[in-house]
DNA sequence: GTTGAAATTTGAACTGT
DNA sequence: ACAGTTCAAATTTCAAC
């Protein structure tokens, strides 16, 4: 992961449809060397996948919510974790510091769908003790573009 | 946005490198008709961009944090919003319901970087009144795959 | 890592239904 | 709006440097 790899990764993150010719300019290498780099980035798992970024509103999930979850003490949380991982409306599920145990990020169609999720999926979990939810009124920024750090050690 | 468009959108969301031939199988249409559909999805903004999904740990931002922000009453928040939009470590910035005004999602290298962000970027903002931050101990799930709703009205 | 060329595949356009 | 062919372009692989 040297400077060249980082530049390629940054470019691919912004535009996954960039051609090798374009990437070659960014990297300063030849086209074939650039192709090698891209392949290696995939092999090493730096590039996990290629995806189309969709507009949430246009695919029917305009409502964004966050839910804090506290689980009952001494209760196995495996079932809860599995349920969250499976559920397509749960975009994120993090074990967090602070008074709560988990923080969920949700995408749903509307408030009715949020209510249904809270009642039928979360409160239905035996290990769930307490919930606190909030919704986004507006989104100033929502990106998946990661800050790529300016090189530390291993190349 | 009929059933066919939805199937294509779902496929592209999971694998943006899928070729038209593969998509044609999914959609049940010919390759050329599928190409038309994809082009229209881009034109309508359903597909916003094509991106490589990178591994946060491997690009040097393994630490995930959330920060609640309360702004001073009667203070213009434009500068704050602009600063958050610009900052690459701020992945998300939502105006939210509840006692806080904004919720930020951050990606940084380590706790030192988080501290620096809190001190130099957030507390430095004149409009910021109070902060509360938490970090992810572990991430059970973190996906950008949106739940694509099963068709409502307009085709 | 570079260059250059061949083989394969892909996306883009045209034509007709 | 869709299907089938054709055409151009980009990716992949390979050679030799």
Taking only the tens place, the pLDDT of each residue in B77-104 is 999 999 999 999 999 999 999 999 999 9
pLDDT at residue A116 above 90?
yes
pTM: 0.96
Taking only the tens place, the pLDDT of each residue in B125-135 is 999 999 999 99
Which value, in Å, is the radius of gyration of the alpha carbons in chain A? Answer: 20
How many interface pairs between A and B have CB atoms less than 8 angstroms apart? 231
Reading the block at residue B40, the tokens are 């229209």
Reading the block at residue A144, the tokens are 């998946």
For residue B42, what is the enclosing H or E element? helix B31-43
Predicted local confidence at residue A154, as pLDDT: 54
Predicted local confidence at residue B153, as pLDDT: 56
Q: Are residues A91 and B47, on separate chains, in Cβ contact within 8 Å?
A: no
- CB contact set of B46 (below 8 Å; sequence gap of 6+): A54, A55, A58, A59, B1, B5, B9
**B56 CA to C7 C1', in Å?**
37
Tell me what the mean pLDDT of segment A71-78 comes to.
94
**A32 CA to D13 C1', in Å?**
10
pLDDT at residue A85 above 90?
yes
Q: Are residues A9 and B108, on separate chains, in Cβ contact within 8 Å?
A: no
**B32 CA to D5 C1', in Å?**
11
Q: Show the CA angle centred on residue A94, arms to residues B83 and B142, nearest 5°.
A: 75
Predicted local confidence at residue A3, as pLDDT: 95
What are residue A106's DSSP bridge partners? A65, A90
Tell me what the mean pLDDT of segment A50-79 comes to.
97
Taking only the tens place, the pLDDT of each residue in B37-69 is 999 999 999 999 999 999 999 999 999 999 999
pLDDT band at A153 (very low <50, low <70, confident <90, very high): low
Q: Are residues B15 and A146, on separate chains, in Cβ contact within 8 Å?
A: no
Tell me what the mean pLDDT of segment A130-138 comes to.
98
Q: Residue A140: which of B128, B85, B103 has the closest Cα?
A: B85
In order of their start, the domains of chain B are 3-43 (1.10.10.10), 63-135 (3.30.70.920)
Written as one string, the DSSP assignment of A30-75 is -HHHHHHHHHHHHHTTSEEEEEEEE-TGGGT--EEEEEEEEEPTT-
pLDDT band at B154 (very low <50, low <70, confident <90, very high): low
| Cα of A146 to nearest chain B Cα, Å | 7
Predicted local confidence at residue A151, as pLDDT: 75
Place of tokens 């082009």: B39
pLDDT band at B151 (very low <50, low <70, confident <90, very high): confident
pLDDT at residue A122 above 90?
yes
pLDDT at residue A152 above 80?
no
Q: Are residues B84 and A44, on separate chains, in Cβ contact within 8 Å?
A: no
Chain A residues with CB under 8 Å of B65 CB are none
């Amino acid at each position: 992961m040297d400077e060249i790899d980082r530049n390629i990764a940054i470019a691919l993150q912004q535009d996954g449809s960039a051609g090798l010719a374009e990437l070659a300019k960014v990297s300063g290498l030849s086209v074939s060397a650039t192709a090698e780099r891209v392949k290696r980035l995939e092999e090493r798992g730096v590039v996990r996948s290629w995806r189309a970024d969709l507009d949430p509103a246009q695919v029917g999930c305009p409502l964004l919510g966050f839910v804090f979850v506290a689980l009952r003490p001494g209760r196995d949380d495996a079932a809860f974790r599995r349920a969250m991982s499976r559920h397509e409306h749960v975009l994120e599920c993090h074990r967090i510091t602070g008074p709560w145990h988990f923080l969920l990020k949700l995408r749903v169609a509307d408030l009715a769908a949020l209510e249904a999720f809270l009642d039928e999926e979360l409160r239905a979990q035996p290990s769930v003790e307490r919930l606190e939810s909030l919704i986004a009124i507006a989104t100033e920024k929502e990106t998946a573009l990661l800050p790529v750090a300016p090189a530390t050690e291993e190349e």
